[in-house]
Amino acid sequence: MDKQTDVLMNLSVLYRSTQKYYDRMLFSMKLTYAQLPILIMIYEREGISMHDIAQSGVYDKGTISKTVKHLEQNGFITIMTSEKDKRNKELYTTDYAKQQMSKVYEIRRDWWQHLIQNIDPSTFDEFLASYEIMASNARAYAESQQENLVFFEWKKVSVSAYPDKMATVLSIAGCNFCCPSCTKSDLVYIPENRKAIADTEIRQYLEKRAGIIEAVCIEGAEPLMHPHLKEFLKYVKDLHYMVKINTNGSFPSFLQELIEEKLVDYVSLSLKSGPRSYAKTIGMENFDTSLISRTLEILKESAIDYDVTIHLIRQFHTTSVLKSMMNWISHVKHLILVPFNDYSSAIQKDLCSIQPKKLGSIIELCQPYCNQLEVRE
Ligand code: SF4
């Protein structure tokens, strides 16, 4: 198992074991693990409001109300109207709770001592400080609730990514497919420690190079999965860049929106298979291929440039599959065939390219279904 997954797994083990321990130890007191942090917070800050609890513990209001209600029903706390502001409620522990708290602290201490056994005391303070920072980062994220568009790969200059233009190429992570032939598994199975490229660095570059670099290409994984893409494209368009998006074609409505708002100039649609075998080639059991049909329609009806790209894989693209793909696309502006040759980095390792001798007949088969046919190495 790789290291990034271990972090998540360890957190999960820690959480579940801690929950089990506390629930067992607190059972006779009619307390639960979930109620404990809130009860301790009230005990240590008598008169605290639900709002303050929500802020310090990143709880939502519903969870707090439910927990407070249970604590009150079981005789641990009382809820009083604030003398300063009648709209506010203040929470206080009862005498019963106060009598239980030393037992609660003992239980908490025992578990902590159990967890930290075998940890080298000389590194422990450092660990605790890092742990504190992680919790504070998590809180800050929950408070800001911001989701920005995040890029993980960046080819600053490319002369091949956008037809006849000098472009910069940015890659987003995350995909709704899991194609066995995917060669960007790092953008699909995003490692926890994968560093994003600083937004400011990208923006400074784009602002400085506007007029020199002519186009911005957004690739993935799948760019159209991210609603924040639109804001970013508006920014890019304000700098007068041409925009190209590579997509797997499964977000037709968002694509249409971007085209209508003139935020995209070129789309490259990666077509994986014919309708009947589509799900298999994207690593799924079932898939609604009408999404791809709709994307094809949108591209054909629009005034923007586009291509349909097929990575030819021996195991998937038999003559009958290619025929069904051609019947499906019917007639497109620009078809690009790419014999698949990136065996080592694909998710499924035993995939291979079509036999070179078959390329001629494939070209012959596909030619009638497009204005322009291109074969790329
Ligand atoms: S659609 Fe593209 S990025 Fe997504 S899994 Fe398939 S090949 Fe990879």
Distance CA 263, CA 231 (A): 10
Beta carbons of 336 and 374 less than 8 angstroms apart? yes
In this structure, of 134-138, 201-205, 236-240, 331-335, the range with the lowest mean pLDDT score is 134-138
Structure tokens at 339: 């014999």
Rounded alpha-carbon distances, angstroms, from residue 246 to 169, 217, 241: 11, 8, 16
Distance CA 267, CA 243 (A): 9
Residue 78's pLDDT is 95
The mean pLDDT of 211-219, rounded to a whole number, is: 96
Q: Greater confidence, 162 or 124?
A: 162
Maximum Cα interatomic distance, the chain, rounded to a whole number of Å? 87
Q: Given a cut of 80, is residue 108 above it in pLDDT?
A: yes
User: Which value, in Å, is the radius of gyration of the alpha carbons in the chain?
Assistant: 28
Q: Per residue in 66-85, pLDDT tens?
A: 999 999 999 999 999 988 87
Residue 126's pLDDT is 85
Distance CA 376, CA 338 (A): 5
DSSP-assigned letters across all residues of 272-319? -S-GGGHHHHTT-S---THHHHHHHHHHHHSSSEEEEEEEEBTTT--H
| Residue closest by Cα to atom 2 of ligand 1 | 221
Place 149 in a pLDDT band, splitting at 50, 70 and 90.
Answer: confident
The mean pLDDT of 254-263, rounded to a whole number, is: 97
- Answer yes or no: is the C-beta of 188 below 6 A from any ligand 1 atom: yes
Distance 178 CA to ligand 1 centre (A): 6
Q: Given a cut of 50, is residue 347 above it in pLDDT?
A: yes
Q: Which domains can be identified in the chain, with CATH numbers? A: 3-144 (1.10.10.10), 151-375 (3.20.20.70)
Residue 5's pLDDT is 57
Contacts from 79-82 at CB under 8 Å and sequence distance 24+? 82/49
Q: Is the pTM of this model over 0.85?
A: no
List the one residue out of 248, 170, 175 whose CA is nearest residue 209. Answer: 170
List the one residue out of 171, 245, 255 whose CA is nearest residue 215. Answer: 245
Nearest ligand 1 atom to alpha carbon 221: 3
- Answer yes or no: is the C-beta of 180 below 6 A from any ligand 1 atom: no
| Residue closest by Cα to atom 7 of ligand 1 | 182
